[in-house]
Structure 1
Amino acid sequence: MMFNTLLASTIIALVATLSTVSAAIPGKTGALISTTRYCIFLPPRFGDEVAATLHRARVYCNRHIPSAPGARILPTGFIKSVHLTRNTAAGWVQITGRIDRRKYGLKSSDDGGQYDIEHPDGASYAGYRYFVEFVEPNENIYCLRVCKHKRHCPTDRPTRGCKEVLGGDYS
Structure 2
Amino acid sequence: MRLSLFSALSVLALGLIHVEAGKVNTVRIDPKKNLVCLILPPPGKLIGDTEQDGHVQCTDGSPQLLPSNFFIWKKFQSNSNYVQAWGMMNDKSVGLRSDDGGGQYDTHRDSGVNKAQGYSVFVELLEPDSKRWCIRFCPKGKEHYCNMGKSTYGCEGALGITDWSASSK
Alignment of 1:140-151 (within 5 A): 140-148=131-139, 149-151=142-144
Q: How many residues align?
A: 139
- Alignment CA distance shift 1:102-1:64 (3 Å): closer
1:38 to 22, 36, 39: 36
Corresponding residue of 1:19: none
| Matches of 2:103 and 2:115, distance apart in 1 | 17
Q: Partner letter of residue 70 of structure 2?
A: F
2:126 to 119, 132, 135: 135
1:62 aligns with 2:56: no
Consecutive unaligned residues of structure 1, counting only runs of 5 or more, are 1-24, 66-70
2:74 to 76, 79, 82: 82
Corresponding residue of 1:28: 25
Deviation of 1:37 (Å): 1.3
Q: Partner letter of residue 71 of structure 2?
A: I
2:164 to 160, 164, 170: 170
**Counterpart of 1:56 in 2: which secondary structure?**
coil
Deviation of 1:125 (Å): 1.1
- Asked if 1 retains the 8 angstrom alpha-carbon contact of 2:150 and 2:157, the reply is no
1:117 aligns with 2:92: no
- Alignment CA distance shift 1:54-1:26 (3 Å): closer
Corresponding residue of 1:107: 97
| Cα-to-partner distance string for 1:10-69 (whole Å, 9 max, x where unaligned) | xxxxxxxxxxxxxxx7650011011621201111x222221111111111101135xxxx
Structure of higher RCO (CA pairs closer than 8 Å, 6+ residues apart): 1
Q: What is the TM-score when the length of structure 1 is the normalising length? A: 0.75
- Asked if 2 retains the 8 angstrom alpha-carbon contact of 1:27 and 1:58, the reply is no
| Matches of 2:76 and 2:23, distance apart in 1 | 25
| Matches of 1:170 and 1:59, distance apart in 2 | 24
Consecutive unaligned residues of structure 2, counting only runs of 5 or more, are 1-21
Matched residues, percent identical? 30
Q: Partner letter of residue 62 of structure 1?
A: T
| Matches of 1:75 and 1:51, distance apart in 2 | 22
